[in-house]
Amino acid sequence: MLSSLNDSKQRSAESREALYPLILRTATRAAIVSRCVRRIDGHGLHRTNVAALREALLRVARPGCLCLTDGFPVPATGYEQRALIDGDARSAAIAAASILAKVTRDRYMRRADRLHPGWEFAAHVGYATPEHRAAIMSRGVSPLHRLSFQSIAYQQLEL
């Protein structure tokens, strides 16, 4: 199974779904941490992501371990760590974490699609596709949209 782990963006959604239970059965520890849209709006995406990653690391790390992160260090964990650029392509542990995160996000977006029809969350799973932007233009934002989101893809929209 470890040979199947690589950058999750290189895998199809079906492949990630197939790996998800294998990772959970194989991993000694796993933690999935999510944050709500209002917290992200209030604290900023990067700060919120780093705080969530820190919380996940604290749940799985043990004395003497080396914590690997994808691209940037996480402050104040009390554990030795190494930030790897393109970590999900270089570390099976980071690739596994990335797959767990993406599958969890995709599942959430499919549930969100049922609860908030019309924005096609299941189809774009949070990415700024032309269809997603068109839905915002015609329907406005849903309770799940970040109002602080700044992307060139959304600059023409009045959020």
Per-residue pLDDT tens digits for 75-115: 889 999 999 999 988 999 999 999 999 999 999 999 999 99
Q: If we measure between CA atoms, which residue out of 4, 25, 24 comes closest to residue 15?
A: 4
pTM of the prediction?
A: 0.86
| pLDDT range class, residue 32, cuts 50, 70, 90 | very high
| pLDDT range class, residue 23, cuts 50, 70, 90 | very high
Mean pLDDT of 23-42: 92
Contacts of range 5-13, beta carbons closer than 8 Å, 24 or more positions apart: 5/92, 5/95, 5/96, 5/99, 6/88, 6/89, 6/95, 7/86, 7/88, 7/89, 7/95, 7/98, 8/88, 8/95, 8/98, 8/99, 8/101, 8/102, 9/88, 10/89, 11/99, 13/106
CB 5 within 8 A of CB 90: no
Radius of gyration for the chain, computed over Cα atoms and rounded to the nearest angstrom: 17
Q: Is the pLDDT of residue 153 over 60?
A: no
Q: How far apart are CA 71 and CA 93, in angstroms?
A: 14
Q: How far apart are CA 66 and CA 31, in angstroms?
A: 16
Q: In the block, which residue shows the tokens 């993406």?
A: 102
